[in-house]
Amino acid sequence: MRPTAEVTGLATDVRLACMRIARRVRFENAGALAPHQFSALVRLEDSPRTPGELAEVERVSAPSMTRTLAHLEEKGLVRRSPHPTDGRQVLLALTDAGRATLAEVRAERDEWMATRLADLTAEERRTLREATAILARVAAR
């Protein structure tokens, strides 16, 4: 469907609101983990992956991912193991420390948001709950 003026105006507002929130969350929680390191760690949460897969999904070059993974390994957050069937490939997996770090960073970020949402009315929170479901679909497309 072709966007109307009403939709375009809303698009601006939604975009700006989301970018400001994201910026505040990142700023408030610089944390011990750089953004690209955090992103890579998140990708390993569901299952181990190869450096190549991680580079592709994070849209960085293979050498960049090599470097990022080396740092995460130094910090003990990921562990590497040989690929079971392809000797050229390597598998990276989260360590217990890696999982704990992910949880910590998320807890800090949630706390920032939660303290602010606690001051809203129940009605306002209901609106946000509905909106996040919609935004999740929008982001997925």
Q: Which residues bind a copy of itself (CB under 8 A)?
A: 1-4, 6-8, 10-27, 59, 106, 109-111, 113-120, 124-125, 127-132, 134-136, 138-139, 141
CA 5 – CA 123 distance, rounded (Å): 28
Query: Long-range contacts made by residues 96-103, C-beta under 8 angstroms, separation at least 24?
Result: 98/41, 98/44, 98/72, 99/45, 101/32, 101/33, 101/41, 101/77, 102/38, 102/41, 102/42, 102/45
2 binds, among a copy of itself, DNA, none (CB under 5 to 8 A by kind): a copy of itself
Site map 67..106 versus DNA, x via CB under 7 A:
xxxxx--------x--x--xxxxx----------------
Among 3, 9, 52, 76, binds DNA (CB under 7 A): 52
Least Å distance between CB 115 and a copy of itself?
Answer: 6
> DSSP assignment, residue 42?
H
60 binds, among DNA, a copy of itself, none (CB under 5 to 8 A by kind): DNA
37 binds, among DNA, a copy of itself, none (CB under 5 to 8 A by kind): DNA
Neighbours of 77 (CB within 10 A): 23
30 binds, among a copy of itself, DNA, none (CB under 5 to 8 A by kind): none
Residue closest to 108 by CA, chosen among 29, 2, 23, 20: 29
